Amino acid sequence: MPSTVLVLNGPNLNLLGSREPEIYGHETLSDIAALCERTAESLGIAVDFRQSNSEAELVNWVQEARTSRAGIIINAGALTHTSVALLDALTASSLPVVEVHLSNIFRREEFRRHSYISLAARGVICGLGSQGYELALAAVARLIAKPSKRTASTQKTASKKTPAKGKRTR
């Protein structure tokens, strides 16, 4: 059975496609869900795509994912900039997390430049619209395939006696 990645979408993302297309594009959330399904299939993984306007529901879903999902992709919407609860849940999940934003949060209002979620994220993708979800899925698929990359390289380094001349070690 393929590994399943939880793709979470926060408040107001259900409105996509209806307003502010100059910022968020013309695609609806259903279009993005379909894109994620197709992308996941091509990567040999599965997606569980969800949206909620409730912080509590999102926290509950992250907690449930801990034992049933292989990774999390999250566009927390405005909760990105406010929610320590979501940050704590993501950190506690110990799963690989990739944060996505449709818009470039660094080209917008000052308050959007800070993300609590980023502290729990292995990577952050913003400003590329729905393509960000595709890229995040590819990144999570790799992280799932090589979950202990850091450990493996640490082991390799630890087992090396002396580094080759002129070669850098970390």
Out of 6, 24, 35, 74, point to the residue binding ligand CA2 (CB under 6 A): 24
Q: Does 133 contact ligand CA2 by CB under 6 A?
A: no
Handedness of CA 84, 65, 13, 145 (dihedral sign): positive
Nearest of 54, 58, 53, 57 to residue 16 by alpha carbon? 53
Shorter beta-carbon distance to ligand CA2: residue 121 or 144: 121
DSSP state of 26: S
Residue 114 annotated as catalytic: no
**Strand positions, DSSP E, the chain:** 4-9, 46-51, 71-75, 97-101, 123-126
Out of 20, 41, 44, 157, point to the residue binding ligand CA2 (CB under 6 A): 20
Out of 16, 72, 136, 139, point to the residue binding ligand CA2 (CB under 6 A): 16
Binding residues for ligand CA2 (CB under 6 A): 12-13, 15-16, 19-20, 24, 75, 77-78, 80, 101-103, 105, 112
